Amino acid sequence: MERPTETKATRIERLLNFLVNTDRIWNRQSMLERARQVFIRVFLAWEQGDPDSVPKADLFPEYAAKLAEGIRQQTAGGLRVEYRNLCVRKVELILVRNFVDNTRDEFTARISAHAQYIVRQQGRIIRQDEYVSPFVEYWTFGRQNGEWKLKEVLPPAEGEKALSRENVDEESSADQLQWYYQKTRAI
């Protein structure tokens, strides 16, 4: 892990140590696992090529509609995608935003995965990675009905910018936020 990411990860972990005491949804391990599960479900929906396979319960309605439309267009063009040997290698929380209004709460995860990407048109392979290749995506999850749901997939440049943004805890001052970062566990 490169230095800025390592520092940010420590800050996030320490902030979450405090947030989880008042709101269980901020459980770091649960957030990481949720991101991993939703990532796999979304990629499986793309592979199936069926808009009805979109995991709507895991997504904000706007993103679910956007994903279903993307799959519809792909299918209408006779395209099928395959993510052979898809594997999530690592999920990292890179931005946490806690607001007084819980409906605005969100976090961004950097998801490192690998797969051999294959595209078929009318059954004929038109693109294929020679080998399993690593890739990184940045996914933002928001709180809805007491659980984390996928809100958007960020373009790579926006995802990189999220890493340098400061975490938000609207219920704490800037000094208090810095104090959280100094504590290895909640007091």
Residue that is written with structure tokens 């069926």 in the block: 50
pLDDT band at 5 (very low <50, low <70, confident <90, very high): low
Q: Where are the alpha helices (DSSP H) in 108-173?
A: 156-164
Which class for 150: exposed (0-12), middle (13-18), buried (19 or more C-beta within 10 A)?
buried
Q: Does 184 map to a domain?
A: no
Total count of domains within the chain:
1
Identify whether the C-beta of residue 54 lies closer than 8 Å to the C-beta of residue 71. yes
Tens-digit pLDDT profile for residues 65-120: 999 999 999 999 999 999 999 999 999 999 999 999 999 999 999 999 999 999 99
pLDDT at 3 over 70: no
Smallest Cα–Cα separation from 140: which of 88, 72, 86, 62? Answer: 62
Quickly state the pLDDT bin for 37 (edges 50, 70, 90): very high
Residue 8 within any structural domain of the chain: yes
Q: Would you say residue 4 has pLDDT above 70?
A: no
- 181 assigned to some structural domain: no
Name the band, by pLDDT with cuts 50, 70 and 90, for residue 182. confident
Q: What is the model's pLDDT at position 84? A: 97
What pLDDT band is residue 7 in, cutting at 50, 70 and 90? Answer: confident
Residue 185, in any domain of the structure: no
CB 79 within 8 A of CB 54: no
Q: Tell me, what CATH number does 162's domain have?
A: 3.10.450.240
Element at 21 (helix H, strand E): helix 3-22
- The answer to the question of residue 16 being in a domain is yes
pLDDT at 187: 59
Q: State the pLDDT at residue 38.
A: 99
- Residue with the bigger pLDDT between 24 and 5: it is 24
Instruction: Establish if 183 belongs to a structural domain.
Output: no
The burial class, CB within 10 Å (0-12 / 13-18 / 19+), for 127 is: exposed
Domain of 22, in residue numbers:
3-173
pLDDT in tens, 140-172: 999 999 999 999 999 999 999 999 999 999 999
